[in-house]
A and B are shown apart, each in its own frame.
Chain A
Amino acid sequence: MSEAREEFVSEAEDLLRETEDGLLDLQETLSKGCNPDVLNGVFRSIHTLKGLSGLFGQRGILDLSHAMETMLDELRLGQRELTEATIAFLLKNLDILKKLLGEIFKEGKELTSVDAALEEIGKFRDEGKGREKEVKNEPGCLTGIPEEITKVLSEYEEHRLRTALKKELCLVTVEAEFELVSFEEDLKGLIEKINQLGELIATIPKTLGVLPGRIGFDLLVALNTSLSKAKEALKLWSVNELVPSPPEPETTSSILPAVNIPTKPGEEIIQEPLLKSGSSTVRVDIGKIDAILDTVGELMLAKGAVSRIGAEISETFGFGPFSVDLQKVSRILEKRLEELQNQILEIRMVPVRQVFSRLNRVVRRYTRDKGKEIDLQLFGGETEVDKLMAEEIIDPLMHMMRNAIDHGIEPAEERLAAGKPVTGVITLKAFPKGNHVVFQLTDDGYGIQPEKVLAKAREKKLIAENQTLDHDGIVKLIFLPGFSTASSVNDVSGRGVGMDVVKEKVSSLGGFIDVETEPGCKTTFTVTIPITLAIIKAVLVSTAGETMAVPMASTSETLSIEPDMIQHIEGKEVIELRGKMLPIVRLAEMFWLYHDRPRERYFVVVVGFGGRRIGLLVDSLLGQQEIVVKPLGERLEKIKGISGAAEIGKYKVILVLDVESLMEEAMLSSQTIKADSDGLGA
């Protein structure tokens, strides 16, 4: 993809995200009336998108964003009423824009025609026409407003003014004067204060009576608060009442922030001029960060060589001053490289809020389609996770979310019958835990019914007829491939996939998933994923001549054992670990590798957590190392048991084990599940 196009896609993506956030915000606050600032923001984003797409010759996006802009313009000018239906309609068109953008990203050009969408917008606007006139022909009641103000107002400003008058808000003008050099920042500060007191309708530059080197403004403001409060907060400037509001009791609890404004006289005027731009962020292609990581990875290898040479020198020539120096330097090098690596990893971090806002949108739309009332509560949006991780985890979370709406939360009447509030509650919590991020998704719905799950599993022959399982074991059956409790395949949570796909995805990210349920009460899914996949600590092991890496995150300890410590229980190999049985899996056998004659000593890498642990039997341990994990690429993504590859030493590529899926396989092999014979899955 060309650089220009890449830039276009990334900028357009941001704009669409802003638009979406804005529309969602409007949707949420619609009952409290339409927030003009947010609506304006949405209008501006779409307007910018229009300009951008015109610049890059993306016809479809240009046409569609133009049509949407027209609609938004009518909305913000009050020529059309903002309704739930309008927002939904705009969101729908936003989806088309997203789709087009996706096509540009993947295929290099727009594939979908926007003709249908344009026609629909036309129709939608026509339908609203009747109402439009009615709103427009409202008698103008700009009484009390001096003509020198009304004549310079734009159509939009006039509309806001009328709205304010209709609401009988107190209208004032604030006269302000600033030094010419710093007026932009100063004006911004004033506007921020005003925004806490009410709505800024217009900023009109003053032409008369301003000293040279200074600039003056009249700011037309509709106050949400009382005049005296506003005068107090803005006492640096003269506040003139234009239209008084009807007297009201002094209840100002809702505008608390206005009170905390610094009120030292003269302070604002002697403020240092701030000429630099407010934002200090840069947008970087993640590929560039990856390239730096690769270089650091290579530096790490070079550092390894330096310390090895240092060790060799001391071994051969004894500890001379040079070899001591060399070791010292190599330690410093190591430390700095680690710092560098950590700093790069930090750059890649994004707050999971980004994930949340995307989930939020789909959920709200989806619940409306489903006619269920759901309160989605999101916590821990500030938790940070690697950008790529964030992208990868969205789908699994989305899927679980839809499952919760579809199969978790009961229909309203059932909830009432069960004595629950009509509105279902879904909470999604994110929090860091060591080198992991935990996502906890809870719904207060049906819960998982063990009997149903068991019956289904038997019916689908996922378990043997006579097999008995405890509660947890039964509930975990939902993660088995081929299990899906949905009786109907709908377009959202159905799509022919079930929790097994979620589990597989999570495990391919080096994470794990767990479920807890209280039937009739709630279900909690816990997804734990590493904060980053880019660099991990791993134990390097060797078996049957192959070197492989086991991520430290899933390793609890390593043991050295002699062959006679291995016992057999029901044909399975186990060893004793602190009085408990630990099932052993020979990695070489599992991977169909030839192993030469039996050894006198083996090593066991204990993987997994809590009650779910197994030991991977290997020939030797090669030590611990930080590795840069590379994905195997889409052509190899179906290979099971391997989550990626890493380069160690010169051109030596080793495989990184997907511990979760290996454990799964080891455990399933004792059940009646057919083993994947070709290792490539379906």
Chain B
Amino acid sequence: MSEDQPVLGSQPSAFFSEADEDYEYEEYEEEGGSSCEKIKILVFRIGDEDYAVRMTDLQEILKMHEITTIPRAPRHLMGITSLRGKVIPVIDPRIRLKVETVDSSEPRIIVLSGEGCPVGIKVDRITGMFMIKPEEIMPSLNTLTDEESRFIDSVVRVEHRFVSILNLDAILEI
């Protein structure tokens, strides 16, 4: 079962011991006052863009599993995989976000605790975890069409790059 162990599960610290030293999330922690005002986010790459989800929505991160496709399912539904005996759907967000994969050498499935049952989304690379302050959250680009903005909740700047925080309800909808 060793392959099946989550890279990041109940103990997030295990993940950070592996992560790149570059992401000095501690620096953010020192800046502000108490940490309860801050929001933890997980930043990852899909195509050549940065996206994020709130850590509170994250259940675990899996190495790429074999995914069983489901016939006649919508295109954004990659298929299903087994998460320790439980069947979970896996979504390919690239179709909805209209991005193309450039480098997917470290693909991961991030399992999000959606409403009811967990859902996985496939990402190309995990960047790391960051702390942000609520006031740093900006509305998403107003030039986006409704269809495009539907999947983006808001934008935040992390490490001088803009990161879109995903609207989970929309992105996880099947």
Check A679/B87 contact, CB under 8 A, given A632-B80, A651-B66.
Answer: no
- B93 interfacial contact with A, CB 8 Å: no
Check A546/B69 contact, CB under 8 A, given A630-B85, A678-B74.
Answer: yes
Q: Are A653 and B117 in contact, CB atoms less than 8 angstroms apart?
A: no
Residues in A whose Cβ lies below 8 Å from that of B81: 651, 653
- A633 interfacial contact with B, CB 8 Å: yes
Q: Are A639 and B72 in contact, CB atoms less than 8 angstroms apart?
A: yes
Residues in B whose Cβ lies below 8 Å from that of A633: 87-89, 116-117
Shortest A292–chain B CB gap in Å is 11
Instruction: From B4, B74, B87, give the contact of A632 (CB < 8 A).
Output: B87
**What 0/1 pattern do residues 62 to 100 of B give for CB contact below 8 A with A?**
000110111111100100111001111100000000000
Residues in B whose Cβ lies below 8 Å from that of A640: 72
- B126 interfacial contact with A, CB 8 Å: no
**What 0/1 pattern do residues 41 to 75 of B give for CB contact below 8 A with A?**
00000000000000000000000011011111110
Q: Are A655 and B116 in contact, CB atoms less than 8 angstroms apart?
A: no
> Smallest CB-CB separation from A642: which chain B residue?
B70
Q: Are B119 and A639 in contact, CB atoms less than 8 angstroms apart?
A: no
**What 0/1 pattern do residues 625 to 640 of A give for CB contact below 8 A with B?**
0000011111110011
Residues in B whose Cβ lies below 8 Å from that of A651: 3-4, 65-66, 81-82
> Smallest CB-CB separation from A650: which chain B residue?
B3
Shortest A335–chain B CB gap in Å is 24
- A124 interfacial contact with B, CB 8 Å: no
Shortest A643–chain B CB gap in Å is 12
- A680 interfacial contact with B, CB 8 Å: yes
Instruction: From A291, A294, A592, A652, give the contact of B71 (CB < 8 A).
Output: A592
Residues in B whose Cβ lies below 8 Å from that of A294: 85
Residues in A whose Cβ lies below 8 Å from that of B114: 635
**In the complex, A680 Cα to B73 Cα: how many Å?**
7
- A236 interfacial contact with B, CB 8 Å: no
Q: Are B68 and A654 in contact, CB atoms less than 8 angstroms apart?
A: yes
- B39 interfacial contact with A, CB 8 Å: no
Q: Are B68 and A593 in contact, CB atoms less than 8 angstroms apart?
A: no
Q: Are A645 and B80 in contact, CB atoms less than 8 angstroms apart?
A: yes
Instruction: From B71, B74, B80, B174, give the contact of A653 (CB < 8 A).
Output: B80
Q: Are B68 and A655 in contact, CB atoms less than 8 angstroms apart?
A: yes
Which residues in window 592-627 of A have CB below 8 A to B?
592-593
Which residues in window 116-142 of B have CB below 8 A to A?
116-117, 119
Q: Are B71 and A636 in contact, CB atoms less than 8 angstroms apart?
A: no
Check A680/B117 contact, CB under 8 A, given A633-B88, A636-B89.
Answer: no
**What 0/1 pattern do residues 544 to 588 of A give for CB contact below 8 A with B?**
001000000000000000000000000000000000000000000
Q: Are B174 and A635 in contact, CB atoms less than 8 angstroms apart?
A: yes
Check A655/B88 contact, CB under 8 A, given A645-B80, A647-B82.
Answer: no
Shortest A318–chain B CB gap in Å is 34
Residues in B whose Cβ lies below 8 Å from that of A634: 116-117
Shortest B82–chain A CB gap in Å is 5
Interface size on B, residues (CB 8 A): 25
Shortest A31–chain B CB gap in Å is 47
**In the complex, A678 Cα to B73 Cα: how many Å?**
7
The SS class assigned to the A binding surface is mixed
Residues in B whose Cβ lies below 8 Å from that of A635: 89, 114, 116-117, 119, 174
Residues in B whose Cβ lies below 8 Å from that of A56: none
Shortest B81–chain A CB gap in Å is 6
Q: Are B116 and A653 in contact, CB atoms less than 8 angstroms apart?
A: no
Q: Are B68 and A653 in contact, CB atoms less than 8 angstroms apart?
A: yes
- A641 interfacial contact with B, CB 8 Å: yes
> Smallest CB-CB separation from A544: which chain B residue?
B71
Residues in B whose Cβ lies below 8 Å from that of A631: 87
Q: Are A641 and B87 in contact, CB atoms less than 8 angstroms apart?
A: no
> Smallest CB-CB separation from B3: which chain A residue?
A651
**In the complex, A447 Cα to B161 Cα: how many Å?**
71
Shortest A346–chain B CB gap in Å is 21
Q: Are A647 and B65 in contact, CB atoms less than 8 angstroms apart?
A: no
Q: Are A593 and B71 in contact, CB atoms less than 8 angstroms apart?
A: yes
- A322 interfacial contact with B, CB 8 Å: no
Shortest A251–chain B CB gap in Å is 63
Shortest A6–chain B CB gap in Å is 17
> Smallest CB-CB separation from A628: which chain B residue?
B85
Q: Are B72 and A679 in contact, CB atoms less than 8 angstroms apart?
A: yes
Residues in A whose Cβ lies below 8 Å from that of B74: 678-680
Residues in A whose Cβ lies below 8 Å from that of B80: 632, 636, 645, 653, 655
> Smallest CB-CB separation from B4: which chain A residue?
A651
**In the complex, A647 Cα to B86 Cα: how many Å?**
10
Residues in B whose Cβ lies below 8 Å from that of A653: 66, 68, 80-82, 87
Residues in A whose Cβ lies below 8 Å from that of B86: 630
Max chain B C-beta neighbours (<10 A), residue from A591, A630, A633: A633
Residues in A whose Cβ lies below 8 Å from that of B68: 645, 652-655
Shortest B86–chain A CB gap in Å is 7
Max chain A C-beta neighbours (<10 A), residue from B4, B77, B87, B114: B87
Residues in B whose Cβ lies below 8 Å from that of A680: 72-74
Residues in A whose Cβ lies below 8 Å from that of B71: 546, 590-593, 641-642, 655, 679
> Smallest CB-CB separation from A629: which chain B residue?
B87
Shortest A673–chain B CB gap in Å is 16
Residues in B whose Cβ lies below 8 Å from that of A678: 72, 74
> Smallest CB-CB separation from A587: which chain B residue?
B71
Shortest A107–chain B CB gap in Å is 12
Residues in A whose Cβ lies below 8 Å from that of B65: 651
Q: Are A639 and B73 in contact, CB atoms less than 8 angstroms apart?
A: yes
Residues in B whose Cβ lies below 8 Å from that of A679: 71-74
Residues in A whose Cβ lies below 8 Å from that of B174: 635-636
Shortest B78–chain A CB gap in Å is 12
Q: Are B70 and A636 in contact, CB atoms less than 8 angstroms apart?
A: yes
Q: Are A591 and B72 in contact, CB atoms less than 8 angstroms apart?
A: yes
**In the complex, A140 Cα to B12 Cα: how many Å?**
76
Residues in A whose Cβ lies below 8 Å from that of B82: 630, 645, 647, 651, 653
**In the complex, A634 Cα to B81 Cα: how many Å?**
15
**In the complex, A24 Cα to B89 Cα: how many Å?**
44
Q: A632-B80, A636-B89 are in contact. List 8 more A-B contacts (CB 8 A).
A: A591-B72, A632-B89, A633-B89, A633-B116, A652-B66, A655-B68, A679-B71, A680-B73
Interface residues of A, Cβ cutoff 8 Å to B: 291, 294, 297-298, 546, 590-593, 630-636, 639-642, 644-645, 647, 651-655, 678-680
Interface residues of B, Cβ cutoff 8 Å to A: 3-4, 65-66, 68-74, 77, 80-82, 85-89, 114, 116-117, 119, 174
19 contacts between A and B (CB under 8 A): A294-B85, A546-B71, A591-B71, A591-B72, A633-B88, A633-B116, A633-B117, A636-B77, A636-B80, A639-B70, A642-B71, A651-B3, A651-B81, A653-B66, A655-B71, A655-B80, A678-B74, A679-B74, A680-B72
In the complex, the 9 A-B pairs of residues with the closest C-beta atoms, listed nearest first:
A679-B72, A591-B71, A294-B85, A653-B68, A633-B117, A630-B87, A645-B87, A635-B174, A653-B82
